[in-house]
Structure 1
Amino acid sequence: MELRTKRLLLRKWKDEDVQPFARMNDDPRVVRYLARIADRSAIEAWIKAQHEHFKKYGYGLWVLERSDVAGFLGFCGLVNIPYRAHFTPAVEIAWRLHPDCWGRGYATEAALAALAFGFQYLKLNQIVANAAVDNAASRRVMERIGMSFNPKDDFDHPLKAAHDPLRHQVLYRLTYQDWTETLAVDLVRVSSRLFYVSGY
């Protein structure tokens, strides 16, 4: 599947995405609160895993680019959480954008399309997101797209080492019911004008 918004295309991964993704992965601003992928071979394996996730589930992390100009901006999408925690099994919404794209509302716009796809097309009951406690930018996006935070949901990420300062994470949630209620004004706009699904 591919998604379109007013300004963005959320598309499948291509071979030419490896190099710009590797550059983004090496930017300390991008990975300050996120896991850095080790090297080129690990990046290629990560992208291969995205293709496999799409084939298995029909959704995953899409590459972001502007609708009017081709070029890698980052990624956004939905993934099945691979680890065990108090809130799993669950589907997570995630994004990562190049710093040149920060502050333009791209993450929020892409995330709204991914949510619409998850709730309208996939019929998910709930979508979650997590972030390092101090990752204020990502937390603001989670709040803008209608997700709610409860400190009781805080958790230690099982895939991060005990000494990792990013191990402690906050969890945000959005249920289908809350999505339809809190975003009722935007629902028609997203589904009728900004969001459509095409074959992957």
Structure 2
Amino acid sequence: MTEIHTERLTLRHWRESDLDPWAAVNADPEVMRFLGPPLTPQRSTAAARRWQEVLDRRGYGFWAVEVRDTGEFVGVTGLDRMDEGMPFSGVEVGWRLARPAWGHGYATEAARAALAYGFDTVGLPEILAVVTAPNARSHALARRLGMTTDPAEDFDHPRVTDERLRRHVIHRLRAEAYRSRSVARSAVRGDGQHGSVRPC
């Protein structure tokens, strides 16, 4: 297994103890406001088990996220291949955190670590973020990650029936742009570290 450690967070494989708090995240209407209807505990558990299987098989996927100082599970961040049937292909970065974890910069910190793993370890040429059009917080996060959009690529998600959520925006970040930003950030910070990856 691989864990990714940032200054404040650990991105890790899933545990049985994560399932109840993960179900609580997905049952929160405010968390799910731009994602669709709240999920049942059964669907939340199924998603976590599916993601763990992908992590075991592929080496990357959607990791459970915990706060290092407390060990508290706060949500999920990671990388996944786009589903078949979408109007484009590639690997996307995604995040979903419990509401008490909002406003601390955790989503940005975790997503940057996932991007670093995708580009530096997996060797991906590009990473996407697919965001519902009205989700202003996630659009802002994608911009903080250095991602860019082209309005010509906006699309109606083929499996979303809620008219309010059907329109989606594609954010893109190419490996060369990521590395340019990383070099610039390293020069400012003086350390160049987005997080450390270690086997466990």
TM-score by length of 2: 0.92
Distance between the aligned counterparts of 1:170 and 1:112, measured in 2? 19
| Corresponding position of 2:103 | 103
Structure 1, residues 19-58: CA drift from partner, whole Å, max 9, x if none? 1111111111100001346322222211110011112211
| AA matched with 1:2 | E
In the alignment, is residue 20 of structure 1 matched against residue 18 of structure 2? no
In the alignment, is residue 125 of structure 1 matched against residue 133 of structure 2? no
CA shift, 1:192, in A, is 5.5
**Contact kept in structure 2, 1:116 and 1:190, CA below 8 Å:** no
* Equivalenced residues, count: 198
| Corresponding position of 2:69 | 68
RMSD of equivalent CA atoms: 1.9
Structure-to-structure mapping, 1:1-200, within 5 angstroms: 1-36=2-37, 38-88=39-89, 90-161=90-161, 163-186=162-185, 193-199=193-199
Distance between the aligned counterparts of 1:60 and 1:36, measured in 2? 23
**Contact kept in structure 1, 2:132 and 2:165, CA below 8 Å:** yes
| AA matched with 1:39 | T
| AA matched with 2:121 | Y
| AA matched with 2:18 | D
Distance between the aligned counterparts of 2:199 and 2:78, measured in 1? 16
| AA matched with 1:24 | V
**Contact kept in structure 2, 1:4 and 1:10, CA below 8 Å:** yes
**Contact kept in structure 2, 1:180 and 1:187, CA below 8 Å:** no
**Contact kept in structure 1, 2:95 and 2:107, CA below 8 Å:** yes
Runs of 4+ in 1 over 6 A off after TM superposition: 188-191
Distance between the aligned counterparts of 1:191 and 1:77, measured in 2? 24
| Structure 2 residue matching 1:172: 3-state secondary structure | strand
**Contact kept in structure 1, 2:64 and 2:75, CA below 8 Å:** yes
| Structure 1 residue matching 2:73: 3-state secondary structure | coil
Which consecutive residues of structure 2, in runs of 5 or more, have no partner in the other structure? Answer: none
**% identical equivalent positions:** 36
TM-score by length of 1: 0.92
CA shift, 1:91, in A, is 0.5
**Contact kept in structure 2, 1:30 and 1:99, CA below 8 Å:** yes
